[in-house]
Structure 1
């Protein structure tokens, strides 16, 4: 036991094999890291502002969490940092508890994510259905776009309101003299990003568009809002002040943030594993690495971090093969902190809003959405419902409701495929066979189908013996086993002998544990062979005392 635990803990730590192949791939890794760093700079600043924590916190998170997750995470090509989904969750936390709460809630969330990985919960992401994932992505993209409406109109974001309500309020009360310059910047940045990406895929279109917009507003001396002063160095790590009351009040928010960080990081790592030839990822180690990344980010004044799907995809497409690329990405951003905070401070907020608006559109795959909507009524409902709850209510609730709805639809489908079928007795017909009902149970006898199957089994009048074939039964739960016991007792009370044939060992143990086998008239009425069961039934019809 101790040896197994020690082996498990060692597996969650960095080891030399993490950098296998580095001698041949380091040039590609360095180039990929530089490319991702250039792409991540405007996104880190934008997500920091969008969350309400600030551009500096977004940049610090990308630097600190990026390198920690790269070293300790379970994916070789994952790139971590601030993301749009986390900004969506963090914004109401900032509005409700204040900016001073972010360091503590980031540390709490990091501890929870790390504990989830250490306890082996990383593989739970495989239970999230595809329609839920796609609906969540669509909802997140919509929320990110809505969050940028105030900045796009040159207005501050209304506090204590949902992104949808805030966007509508800003649109209704917009001052067009202020909004016009900001909207022109948004249009310029969006046009450049779309046009440059079509011109050549290697051009860092978001960075080029940001630079062009910053130069334009500087030359024209426009009064649009800017990012403002950024730190020129990383602050020393500081433990946030925490008392019992603060921990209690922030625990709920930390749980929500941790759940989102775990889900998004594992989904991103899974996507990366399907895109990259570097092999599978370790979901438990990924959670440990992401938890440590958020803890480190909180200590340095950053925000919670997750695996970033967009940046990870850029990393893979740029040729990354080892963790060195994500480490180089953080070094590039660190160089910005120490060498280029002045130019970065002059970036217009409307330009970052435009970057996120275009990014939100790119998160949505119309082909995937059409495929989900065409798949089935149940899956389409889950997809639309998850997206709707994400936009109008809460991200975590959306995933929970989506999973619950998927489970209900799945159980309903299993219940519908469960049936009781009366079969002909094998061999030549003999006198008295009409008084024997051979019933085959198919599918699953569980709480969702037990009552319906029970009615079907007992609805055979004018028979003396009922043979229940269970060899085709795939699933049996306690409710189903109890129902079989009740059915047996009811039939026996009516003078009908019950024979149960072909019970699987695991089902037999359950039937015995719930007392269902006690309702049988004799212990030899549990029979393995169909021929033996039919012979026993015919003997009973011929001589009822058998």
Structure 2
């Protein structure tokens, strides 16, 4: 019980999380202000894109950003609303309304919290690289397509197929399309060119400010964000009936899975980013990260916000801006909180097309072209996994995409392992002796598992006319229950047909399984199990010699 409590204590904040030395605090303060300024337009845009509204995006950035910074497992991770989460929430809003999102945030947060307590954080290591790249590529495509209606100043329904909605929006574009496309073009140009001229300025914020000021001065007929609350709402428990819980259980599980996957991937990417961070600041605890993200989504839901995840782009800005500790992510949340209380009037006048431009550029930047090219050119199997994952992400659902990608990757891996697993007939060691033609020596290599067991066993059955068969198992790296059972049936079949079977080199880790399925019981004699190949072959030769003399 003491060990369990100690392990649970490791998932909570500690005194070591704080470093308030002047130099460190100053670096964190500057990094937090920088990432807060960058995060502001993204929080607004993701709130709008999800269908919940810009206010929910701001609330999520503040509440979830601060909670995840304090309780999460990474010192430099920045959390809040993300494009992937907006993609998942849009169909939910269309089906159940915006009021369902805080409920899902609370439910999903509880699920992620339990997953962290159950130490499931390292499960993300089992997601193959092609699945991650395909998932990211699909999300980027959806985010871009979702912004097309706002880019052409068309009020489109939230939650439909993004490609169909984008095509319809273009065909329905009205007289203000030139204004809206002009705003998108200006935002894109500033975000792409400003970092080259003045890398210290927050390009996305500058772009939004320029377009907003221009739209006001020119009295452009563009849709705006609209009224925003001038403070955080009071926390309250969402109304949850049994029927609603049943309807939202599936979406909550999907959101929880996405929050866990994206947050852990973001933390892993941050730990490997080139920077002058010390090694202890780079390390992250995946289980504590799940606990922090679970609490963040839960708290966000109580304040009427969205589910949150770790945000790769904002985390990267945080690291590059010089963040050292969690203080930077806390400051990022406080910066956005200051905007809520002091600047909602100007923010309400931001054109939706400006936010669409920010997200379109963000979507394009999400695609890691060198990584995707590397995956596509490594093996055909990896390329297939990436393409299938991206296609399912766009056409169906993000969580289904990860599942399908994992299944395809697992199938291709099993096929590869099965091809590498073999059984070969070998010549007997030493000088040839009379009667050797009646002895067959088979060497098993690789893995004897369900994907290869029947093929390997059938080859042994068909590839000999011997009186004695020696099965050399010392090179087998893995045996599963199916493989062990196939081996037991092979031994039994050979013995029934009058062939004496000798087994050589069972590894100690395989012995218990092979004993339980009856491999040893099916041998004609208990002494037909050998550790030395020379002894096994000598026994086979003596057996053949005895048979010859008996005839």
TM-score by length of 2: 0.97
Other-structure match for 2:193: 195
Partner of 2:56: 57
Work out whether residues 22 and 322 of structure 1, in 8 Å CA contact, stay in contact via their aligned partners in 2: no
The reply to whether residue 371 of structure 1 matches residue 374 of structure 2 is yes
Q: Does 1:327 align with 2:326?
A: no
SS in 1 for 2:442: strand
Query: How many residue pairs end up in the alignment?
Result: 544
In the other structure, the counterpart of 1:100 is: 99
1:460 positional shift: 3.1
Partner secondary structure for residue 521 of structure 1:
coil
Measured against aligned partners, the alpha-carbon deviations of 1:268-301 in whole angstroms (never above 9, x if no partner) come to: 0000111254232111110010000001000111
Give per-residue Cα distances to partners, 1:374-399, cap 9 Å, x unaligned.
01000000001101111111000000
How do residues 286-297 of structure 1 correspond to structure 2 at under 5 angstroms?
286-297=289-300
SS in 2 for 1:14: coil
Q: For residues 232 and 259 of structure 2, what CA distance do their matches in structure 1 show?
A: 24
Taking the aligned partners of 2:3 and 2:408, their CA distance within structure 1 comes to 37
Q: Show the counterpart of 1:337.
A: 340
Moved more, 424-433 or 89-98: 424-433
* Equivalence for 2:401: 398
SS at match of 1:518: coil
Q: Distance in 1 between matches of 2:315 and 2:453?
A: 47
Secondary structure at the aligned position of 2:520 is classed as helix
Structure-2 residue corresponding to 1:421: 424
Measure the CA separation in 1 of the matches of 2:265 and 2:85: 14
Post-superposition shift, 1:178?
2.2
| Contact 2:90/2:159, CA 8 A, preserved across alignment | no
Q: How does 1:480-519 map to 2 (within 5 A)?
A: 480-519=483-522
2:535 and 2:18 map into 1 onto residues whose CA distance is 63
Q: Which residue, out of 522, 526, 531, partners 1:528?
A: 531
* Contact persistence 1:151–1:349 (CA under 8 A): yes
Deviation at 1:17, TM superposition (A): 1.6
For residues 77-132 of structure 1, the C-alpha deviation after alignment (integer angstroms, 9 at most, x for no partner) is 00000000000000000000011111111100000011111111111000000000
Report what 1:251 is aligned to.
249
Q: Does 1:312 align with 2:318?
A: no
Tell whether 2:299 aligns with 1:301: no
Q: Tell me how far apart the structure 2 counterparts of residues 358 and 462 of structure 1 sit (CA, whole Å).
A: 69
CA distance in 1, matches of 2:160, 2:19: 49
1:227 counterpart residue number? 225
Does the 8 Å CA contact 2:37/2:205 hold for their aligned counterparts? yes
Q: Counterpart of 2:258?
A: 260
3-state secondary structure, aligned to 1:517: coil
Instruction: Give the Cα–Cα distance (whole angstroms) in 2 for the partners of residues 426 and 442 of structure 1.
Output: 18
SS across alignment from 2:194: helix
Displacement, 1:516? 2.4
Structure 1: runs of 5+ lacking an equivalent: none
CA–CA distance in structure 2, aligned partners of residues 4 and 467 of structure 1:
50
8 Å CA contact 2:111, 2:256 repeated in 1: yes
Say if 1:59 and 1:456 are closer, same or farther in 2 by CA, change over 3 A: same
Q: Give runs of aligned pairs for residues 77-476 of structure 1, distance below 5 A.
A: 77-175=76-174, 177-275=175-273, 276-277=277-278, 278-476=281-479
TM-score, structure 1 normalization: 0.98
- Does the Cα contact within 8 Å between 2:154 and 2:172 map onto a contact in 1? no
Q: Is the 8 A contact 1:499 1:525 kept in 2?
A: yes
Query: Do 2:51 and 2:158's aligned partners in 1 also have CA atoms closer than 8 Å?
Result: no
SS of 2:99's partner is helix
CA distance in 2, matches of 1:457, 1:476: 17
Shift of 1:24: 4.0
Pick closer, same or farther for the CA change 1:308–1:159 going to 2, 3 Å: closer
- C-alpha displacement of 1:461: 3.2
Provide the secondary structure at the position in 1 that maps to 2:521.
Answer: helix
In structure 2, the partner of 1:33 is 32
The C-alpha deviation readout for 1:492-545, integer Å capped at 9, x for no partner, is 111111111110112111111122222111111111111111111111111249
Give the root-mean-square deviation of aligned CA atoms: 1.3
Q: CA-to-partner distance for each residue in 1:338-364, whole Å, 9 max, x for gaps?
A: 111111111100000000000001111
